[in-house]
Structure 1
Amino acid sequence: MATQVVQNQSLKNTYSAFTQFWENVKAIAGPYWYPTKAGERAFSDVIRVWGMLILLILLIITLVGVNVFNSFVQRYLLDLMIKDKDLPKFLDALLLYGGVLVLATLLVGFTKSLRKQIALDWYHWLNNHILSKYLSNRAYYKINFKSDIDNPDQRLSQEIEPIASNALSFSATILEKVLEITIFLIILWSISSQVAVILVAYTIVGNLIAVYLTQELNKINQEELESKADYTYCLTHVRNHAESVAFFRGEKQESSIINRRFSNLIKNAKRKIDWERNKEIFNRGYQAVIQILPFIVFGPLNIKGEIDFGELSQAALSCNLFAMALAELINEFGTSGRFSSYVERLSEFSDALEEVTKQPENVSSIKTIEENHLAFENVTLQTPNYEQVIVEDLSLDVRPGEGLLIVGPSGRGKSSLLRAIAGLWNAGTGRLVRPPLEEVLFLPQRPYIILGTLREQLLYPNTNRQMTDAELKEVLQQVNLQNLLSRVDGFDTEVPWENILSIGEQQRLAFARLLVTHPSFTILDEATSALDLENEGRLYQQLQDTKTTFISVGHRESLFDYHQWVLELSQDSSWQLVTVQNYRNQKAVVTIPSTNPQREIDDSSQDKSLIKAEISTIEGFSHKEMNELTYYSITTIRSKASKGEFITNRDGVTYRYDKDPNVLKWVRV
């Protein structure tokens, strides 16, 4: 009873697996062959590909018919040679036989060519279809948060083409070989029904064994795909982080990781070799029995004169062609395991891309409104999985031309606010007002360097913009990259930029894009962290000159000089928005030395006089000396002194101007 339950469960699992496989095939093939949604496929393209498919089917049927006709011509030739011995008829038949062989050869060539052309057309469309899903609605970004989808790049580059080619190969082979098996069985039946019945029974048993052998191969093929993807990924990971590995001298550890994944690949390959050996032995033995069968049955009959040699030859040829057709059929079913693996992975990937772009149900999200300014209105921002609150009930408004600096402890969500502005994260409540994203330029800490020429690097993301070489040279001069042209052949040179540019040069290149694009709004996520203070000051001064509205994330005190407002995020998801001057006053601590720390001064006039005396002893700098220590002109320094504003020198030290008549110097805060 238990055995029967297990068998029933196994049958259910097999049926369920087949049903799921067929659903996956329909999901992948449907939009190409049977488009149901408007805009999926042009009607003319659908008609063209169906016409090619019908032509392929007709060619296959014609090819099978020619092969069958050839078997009768060959039988007739043998009879003319052995029994009739008629030379003129023999030459005519030989000419016909040769013509049919030429026709069969041409049909084989055209059939395979047309099959590959259809597969290529399907691959072209399917790749563009999946790539469109991948790049739309930022699915390529959101898919990274879905842990069960591994190696999306390999699924795109290596696992789409085999689906189209294998599907056409499998379908065409099935049609061709089923037709051949059927017709050659009919021929054998006309010669001997007994042999035909034996072959049918033998075929059923053989296919059952073949299905058993291919089931394990299907699992091995799936594991092979995964192990190859993991091995490729770890090699790519080392290439992308080569400098970090070199700094840490991590070659030994990386070698261990690579060898571990390569060992899994080899272990899987050995299992596959063992199963393929068993399958090959079965296939060869299976064919051998079919090939020897007609001689066992028809040989004695020919010797007794009950059938002629032509019939014996045709029966042997039919059995041989039957065996070959059946072997190819079994082989196709064997490789269908790999095909099903590709279908399963691509269907899973396609479904995941659709899923991550859907708005989750029964959860709150931040509402986004497009206007010509940036504001958070009672925004509570959470992580995409809604497990952590980043900032709570945030309300602020950044007006055009202003600069906002976001500060706070590491890991408190400074960059997450930028993701919210970009529309990458919207988990939470409240309303976000921002300009259209086309008017916003994002400068991350590690700039994105595209695969392209220097001209395309500078014009990115609007690579269709037209700018002369002279204009681009001026931009490079402004960001202190004028020497870059001496390292390459020109603006249309394409080299591995990430390898030849330092992080600081990459950050200056990102600022060059800003000067080219002239966006209305700029978001900078520690975009000058790799630059010295002189280059940072020059770039931010140019940023201010563009009159753009900008939001920065950073830790350097020098950044306060270029912003009007500071948003400070705290550990408990709270926040405060203050002017730069007030924030500096909050953080500034002036330590006044005292000869007697225990002494209490009750008289206010005595207190003031002591403070003046002590301040007068503090070392300070004149306007001219501050000019030499900073990037500011004498005029700007005098202006900041009169307004009571702070100045940060090249070493990141902040000073204020003491207007006391006894001091009149820039003193350190």
Structure 2
Amino acid sequence: MSTQVIQNQSLTNTSSGFTRFWENVKAIAGPYWYPTNLNGRAFSDVIQAWGMLVLLILLIIGLVGVTAFNSFVDRYLIDVIIQDKDTSKFFSTLSLYGLGLLLITFLTGLTKFVRKKIALDWYQWLNQQILEKYFSDRAYYKINFSSDIDNPDQRLSQEIEPIARTALNFSATLFEKILEMTTFLIILWSISQFAVAFLLTYTIIGNLIAVYLSQELDKITQEELESKADYTYSLTHVRNHAESIAFFRGENQELNIIQRRFNHLFKNSESKIDWERNKDIFNRGYRSIIQIFPYLIFAPVYIRGEIDFGQVSQAVVACSMFANGLATLIDEFGTSGRFSSYVERLADFSDALETVTKQPENVSTIKTIEENHLAFDDVTLQTPDYEQVIVEDLSLTVQAGEGLLIVGPSGRGKSSLLRAIAGLWNAGTGRLVRPPLKELLFLPQRPYIILGTLREQLLYPNTNHQMTDAELKEVLQQVNLQNLLSRVDNFDTEVPWENILSLGEQQRLAFARLLVTRPSFTILDEATSALDLKNEGNLYQQLQETKTTFISVGHRESLYDYHQWVLELSQDSSWQLLTVQDYRNQKASITKPATNTQIQINESSKDKPQ
């Protein structure tokens, strides 16, 4: 009874797994081959893709047809040599046979070329669709907080191309080999019906074994993809944090982490090798039996004079083609495990990108209004998971050209308020009034350094903005980076800036962007924390000269000199808004020690043993 239950559960899991796999394939392939969205692929592109697919099908049919025709030419050629012994017939038949081989060679090359072109076009389209989802509505940012998707960079760079390539290879190979096997079975049927019956029975048994082998290989392949992604990420992590690791002398710990992940990858690879060994032994043995089979069947018949030698040769060729076709199909089914893993991971990734960009139902969000000023109106801000309140009932307005400094204990949500202004976090209630995001410039504590030239670094994010070299040099002079040009040839030199610039230089480079862009509103999250007071003062003075409205987060008392207002956040989600002078007075009254207390401490210290 229990065995029956287990078998039923296994069948159910297999059925549901196949259904889920098929749904994932349709979700990935459907928009390319059968677009239903009006904003989807252009009709001309769809027609071109189908035209290439029809061409591929015709080429495969032609290839199989010429191969089958050449088997008859080969049979006739052998009869001419053995029976007719006619030289003129021999050369004419050999010429026809050679022409067939030449045509087979040409069709084989053209078929592979068309297959790769279709796969490349599909890959390009699929990659573009996923990238658009990834960058749409800041999904690349939100997915780090709202999803358990691992290694999105590897899924984008390494796991999209194999889907298109493997799908085309598998489909084209399946069609070609089934057509080829069917064609040669018909040829074999004309010679011996018993041989066809044997091959069909043998094929069914072989496919059942192949399916069993491929199912276990699917699980191993999925684990291999995940462990390979983890291993690759650990190496990238070391490269991105090389200086920190060097300061901490953490080489041994990093090596242990990388080695641990590699060991996991190694074990998966060992398991895969074991299963591939079983598959290869089965595959080779399967083909060997088919190669022996025609001699057992047709040699006695030829000896008895019931068929000629040309038919024996054609039967051997037919069985060999059938065996090769079947072996190729078994190999393709073996790679289907990797294909299904890629499809599942890409489908999960695509679904996660759509999920994180959807507005949650039955939850409250801060209403955002775009106007040419900045204000909080009774705003209660929460973390994206709604588990913690950051600030309650915040109401304030930042006047044009003024500066607001946000202070408070670490971890109390100072940077979270900036995320709310930027539209990254909106969990909570109330109303936020802010200018359009294109008029805001954000300067974080660790500036974002792009992969590009010095000119692109300075113009970012408006890299289409035009400025002369002289103007850019003046900007570098203003932020005390005039010596930066001595390290490179010119403004159009591309080097790994993140590695050659110190954190202080990176922060000054970020301020240079501010002077280039001259936004109406600027957000600074401890943007001068790595600078000395002189450089900090120089940058904030230039910031004030731009007449921009700005909000800063910081701990230094020196920042008070450049702001008009201070917003202090407290541990209990409360807040207070004061002028800079009132805040200084309040802080001074709290920190100033009482005279009597000081005298009492000095007196009591006399009684303590020295």
Which TM-score band applies after superposition, normalised by the shorter structure?
over 0.9
Q: 1:166 to 1:594 in 2, by over 3 A?
A: closer
Aligned match of 1:549: 549
The 5 A counterparts of 1:393-404 are 393-404=393-404
The one-letter code of the counterpart of 2:555 is: H
Q: Helix, strand or coil for the counterpart of 2:178?
A: helix
Structure with greater helix share of residues: 2
Q: CA separation in 1, counterparts of 2:562 and 2:140?
A: 35
Secondary structure of residue in 2 paired with 1:49: helix
Take 2:350 and 2:274, find their aligned partners in 1: how far apart are those partners? 34
Alpha-carbon displacement from aligned partner over 1:437-460 (angstroms, at most 9, x marks no partner): 000000000000000000000000
Deviation at 1:146, TM superposition (A): 3.2
Residues in 2 aligned to 1:445 and 1:107: alpha-carbon distance in whole angstroms: 61
Map Cα deviations across residues 415-467 of structure 1 (whole Å, 9 max, x no partner).
00000000000000000000000000000000000000000000000000000
Question: RMSD of the TM alignment (CA)?
Answer: 1.1
Output the amino acid matched with 1:204.
Answer: I
1:21-100 to structure 2, matched below 5 A, reads 21-100=21-100
In the alignment, structure 1 residue 583 sits paired with structure 2 residue 556: no
Distance in 1 between residues matched to 2:148 and 2:189, nearest whole Å: 54
**Any idea what SS the aligned residue of 1:425 has?**
coil
Displacement after TM superposition at 1:86 (Å): 1.5
Structure 2 distance, partners of 1:516, 1:407, is 28
1:374 is aligned to 374
Q: Specify the alignment match of 1:315 in structure 2.
A: 315
Give the C-alpha shift of residue 304 in structure 1: 1.3
Amino acid at match of 1:65: G
Partner Cα distance (1:321, 1:166) in 2:
23
Name the aligned partner's letter for residue 127 of structure 1.
N
Q: Per the alignment, in what secondary structure is the counterpart of residue 588 of structure 1?
A: helix
Q: CA offset at residue 306 of structure 1?
A: 1.1
Q: Distance in 2 between matches of 1:576 and 1:468?
A: 46
CA distance in 2, matches of 1:255, 1:13: 40
- Tell me what 2:279 maps to: 279
Inter-CA distance 456–595: structure 2 relative to 1 (3 Å threshold): closer
Residue identity over aligned pairs, in percent, reads 78
Alpha-carbon distance change, 132 to 192 in structure 1, aligned in 2, over 3 angstroms: same
Aligned-partner residue type, residue 12 of structure 1: T
Distance 1:137 1:38 in 2: 21
Provide the rounded CA distance (Å) in 2 between the counterparts of 1:290 and 1:591: 98
Shift of 1:592: 7.6
Q: SS of the residue aligned with 2:446?
A: coil
Task: Choose 362-371 or 139-148, whichever is displaced more.
Answer: 139-148
Q: Answer with 1 or 2: which has the greater Rg.
A: 1
2:348 maps to amino acid: E
Query: How far has the Cα of 1:189 moved from its partner?
Result: 1.0
Which residue number corresponds to residue 603 of structure 2? none
Q: Deviations over 1:96-155 (max 9, x none)?
A: 000011011000010000000000000011001100000110000001013420000000
Secondary structure of the corresponding residue to residue 45 of structure 2: helix
Q: Secondary structure at the match of 2:425?
A: coil
The whole-number CA distance in structure 1 between the counterparts of 2:408 and 2:19 is 54
Residue 324 of structure 1 corresponds to 324
What corresponds to 2:455 in structure 1? 455
Q: Corresponding residue for 1:472?
A: 472
Which residue pairs with 1:648 in the alignment? none
Question: Alignment partner of 2:153: what SS?
Answer: helix
* Residues 2-11 or 349-358, more deviating: 2-11
Which residue is equivalent to 2:11? 11
> 1:82-481 to 2 correspondence within 5 Å?
82-481=82-481
- Mapped contact 2:24–2:343 kept (Cα < 8 A): yes
Q: Distance in 1 between matches of 2:6 and 2:533?
A: 73
Structure 1 counterpart SS, 2:105? helix
Structure 1 residues 352 and 327, CA gap change in structure 2 (3 angstroms): same
| 1:554-605, Cα deviation, whole Å (9 max, x unpaired) | 000000000000000000000000100100110114558689969xxxxxxx
Distance 2:595 2:387 in 1: 49
- Where in structure 2 are the equivalents of 1:437-586 lying within 5 Å? 437-586=437-586
Please, which runs of 5 or more residues in structure 2 have no aligned partner? 601-610
CA distance in 1, matches of 2:572, 2:151: 36
**d(CA) in 1 for partners of 2:3 and 2:505?**
70
The question of whether the paired residues in 1 share the 8 Å contact of 2:378 and 2:393 is answered with yes
Paired amino acid for 1:180: E
2: CA distance, partners of 1:413 / 1:158: 37
Residue identity in the other structure for 2:478 = Q
**2:197 and 2:80 mapped to 1: Cα distance?**
30
- Summarize deviations over 1:28-55 as a string: whole Å, max 9, x none: 0111111111121011100111100000
Q: CA deviation at 1:90?
A: 1.3
Hey, what's the Cα distance between the residues in 2 that align with 1:199 and 1:593?
105
Work out whether residues 231 and 258 of structure 2, in 8 Å CA contact, stay in contact via their aligned partners in 1. Answer: yes
Q: Which runs of 5+ in 1 are unaligned?
A: 599-669
Q: Secondary structure at the match of 2:572?
A: coil
What is the CA-CA distance between 1:88 and the residue it aligns to? 1.0
Query: 3-state SS of the aligned residue for 2:490?
Result: coil
CA distance in 2, matches of 1:148, 1:451: 28
**Separation of aligned partners in 1, 2:18 and 2:162:** 20
**1:161 Cα deviation from its structure 2 partner:** 0.3
Structure 1 residue 85, shift from structure 2 partner: 1.1
* CA offset digits 1:335-358 (Å, max 9, x no partner): 010000000000000000000000
Counterpart CA distance in 1 for 2:470 and 2:486 is 15
Q: Distance in 2 between matches of 1:534 and 1:450?
A: 27
Provide the secondary structure at the position in 1 that maps to 2:386.
Answer: coil
Structure 2 letter corresponding to 1:171: S
CA distance in 2 between partners of 1:145 and 1:87 (Å): 80
For 1:290 and 1:355, the matched residues in 2 are separated by 52
Distance change in 2, residues 1:372/1:304 (3 Å):
same
TM-score scaled to structure 1, two decimals? 0.88
Q: Which amino acid aligns with 1:380?
A: T
**Contact map agreement 2:404 2:564 (CA 8 A) in 1:** yes
Deviation at 1:539, TM superposition (A): 0.3
TM norm structure 2: 0.97
**Runs of at least 4 residues of structure 1 off by over 3 A?**
589-598
Contact map agreement 2:378 2:430 (CA 8 A) in 1: yes
Partner amino acid, structure 2, of 1:272: K
Per-residue deviation, 1:313 = 0.4
Work out the CA distance in 1 between the residues paired with 2:593 and 2:538. Answer: 32
Q: Which amino acid aligns with 1:417?
A: L
SS at the partner of 2:262? helix
Give secondary structure in 1 for the equivalent of 2:430. Answer: strand
Output one character per residue of 1:474-509: Cα deviation in whole Å (capped at 9) or x when no partner. Answer: 000000000000111110000000110000000000
Shift of 1:390: 0.3
Residues 579 and 454 (structure 1 numbering): CA distance in 2 closer, same or farther, change over 3 Å? same
RCO higher in structure (CA 8 A, sep ≥6): 2
Secondary structure at the counterpart of residue 442 of structure 1: strand
Alpha-carbon separation, structure 2, partners of 1:499 and 1:169? 42
In structure 2, how many angstroms separate the alpha carbons of the residues matched to 1:259 and 1:395? 52
Query: Take 2:594 and 2:192, find their aligned partners in 1: how far apart are those partners?
Result: 117
Deviations 1:59-81 (A, max 9, x none): 00010000000100000000111
Contact 2:147 2:352 in 1 (8 A): no
Q: Is the 8 A contact 2:188 2:195 kept in 1?
A: yes
SS of structure 2 residue aligned to 1:38 = coil
Partner of 2:523, secondary structure, is strand
Q: Structure 1 residues 594, 276: closer, same or farther in 2, change over 3 A? A: closer
